[in-house]
Amino acid sequence: MHDLAPLARFGGLVATDLRDVTHDPEALDSAGFWAVCADFEGRLTCARFGDVRPGPVPAPVPGGWRGPAAGDWTSSLDRAAYTAGVRRVREHIARGEVYQANLCRVLTAPLPDPAAADVDALTALLARGNPAPYAGTIRLPAHGVEIATASPELYLRREGALISSGPIKGTGRTAADLLPKDHAENVMIVDLVRNDLGRVSETGTVAVPELCAVEEHPGLVHLVSTVTGLLREDAGWPALLAATFPPGSVTGAPKSSALRIIEALETAPRGPYCGGIGWVDADAGTAELAVGIRTFWIDRAEGVLRFGTGAGITWGSDPEREWEETELKADRLVAIASGAYESGASEASGKATSR
C-alpha cells in the first residue's frame, strides 16, 4: 500500500502531485496549497501539492475497504478506568486546579490486510454513512500520515486577516438531552478560545457572533459557538498555531492545567485525534483546519486502525454518562469502519469499545 500516490481531499477538492513535505509552520506563509496535520502532541506535517482541482469523494467500491472485525476493537481506557478518570478530574476541579478537562481514549483494532488498507476508501464509506462539514483525507504513507476524518468541528478558518473558530461543547442524542452542564461547558471553552485568538488578533476585534447554537449531525446533536478576530499584521501561521494549539475544546480550561491532567490520566498518545487537520492555500490567504475528532488513522508499524473518542468533564459530570457520551460519539463511525453499519450491526461497535 506504500505505492499508493500521496493525496489530500477536503471540501470538494482533491490534491495530488506532491511537491514538498515539511514540519516548519513558516511554510504555510509561503506559497502553494498545503495539506496540514498537527498531532495533538505537537508534531506538524505540511504537504504541498502541485495539482488541486474539484473532485467529489468517489462512491464506495465493493471490497475497497476491508476494516477490522466489529468485535476486535479495544480501548486504551476501559469503562472502569475511564469512569475512575472522570472522578479524578472532578477531584482536580474541587481543588480549584481546573474548571474543565477533556478526557479521551483511543480505540484500536487490527486491520485484516494492512497492505491493502487505503484511507481514501474509508473516506468514501464515511462520506456516505456519516457526512461531516470538515471531512477529509490525508494520504502520505511515506511520511507516517494516513488519516480519514469525519470531523464536525472547525478549529481555524482563515480568510485574509479574518480568523474564526467553531468550538463544540455539549453532545446528546437529541437537543432534549442537552443539560445546563453542556451550556456551561460551551461558554467556558468560548472564553478560552476568545483568549487564544486574542493573543494574535488586533485589539478589540475578537467577537462571538454565535453562542451555543444547536447543530444536528448523524446520530447526535452538538452545541456550537463561533469566535472571530482580525489577525495582527505581524502574526503569521507560526504565531497563530502557537497561540491556539491544541484546540481549546479538546483540552480544557485553563488549558495548561488541563493538559497536565490529560497527560497524567490518559494512557495512549492522541496522535492526529484532537489535533488539527485541513488545508492552507498560501496564495489565496485562506485556510480551513478541523479539530481532529471523529478521525481514523492507520498505524503502519502496528498494522492497526485507530480512532479516538472523549468527553469534556466538569464538576457537574456523571462518570457513567460521560462514558456513554464517548460510546455515542464512537458507535456509528466504528461500525462504518468495521463494515457493520449497513448490516444493522452498528450496536456491536459500542460493545466492542467497552473492552
> What dihedral angle (degrees, nearest 10) is formed by the CA atoms of 75, 78, 79, 80?
-170
Comparing 14-18, 25-29, 344-348, which segment has the lowest mean pLDDT? 344-348
Query: Closest Cα to residue 227, out of 212, 242, 238?
Result: 212
Catalytic residue among 169, 325, 327, 329: 169
Q: Name the residue with higher pLDDT: 340 or 76.
A: 76
Which residues is 105 bridged to in the sheet?
Answer: 309
Taking only the tens place, the pLDDT of each residue in 160-212 is 999 999 999 988 899 999 989 899 989 999 999 999 999 999 999 999 999 99
Q: Determine contact, residues 101/89, Cβ cutoff 8 Å.
A: yes
Tell me: cis bond preceding 25? Omega within 30 of 0 counts.
no
> What dihedral angle (degrees, nearest 10) is formed by the CA atoms of 336, 341, 342, 343?
130
Distance CA 222, CA 172 (A): 7
What whole-number percentage of the chain has pLDDT above 70?
Answer: 95
Question: How many secondary structure helices (H) and strands (E) does the chain include?
Answer: 7, 18
Count CA within 13 A, CB hemisphere, residue 66. 10
Q: Name the residue with higher pLDDT: 345 or 334.
A: 334
Mean pLDDT of 336-342: 81
Comparing 189-198, 283-292, 338-347, which segment has the lowest mean pLDDT? 338-347
C-alpha cell at position 3: 505505492
pLDDT of residue 355: 38
pLDDT of residue 133: 95
pLDDT of residue 276: 98
Strands 134-140 and 286-291, sheet pairing? unpaired
Catalytic residue among 153, 288, 322, 327: 153
CATH numbers and ranges of domains, the chain: 7-353 (3.60.120.10)
Mean pLDDT of 65-77: 96
C-alpha cell at position 80: 472502569
Taking only the tens place, the pLDDT of each residue in 239-275 is 999 999 999 999 999 999 999 999 999 999 999 999 9
Residue 181 falls in the annotated catalytic set: no
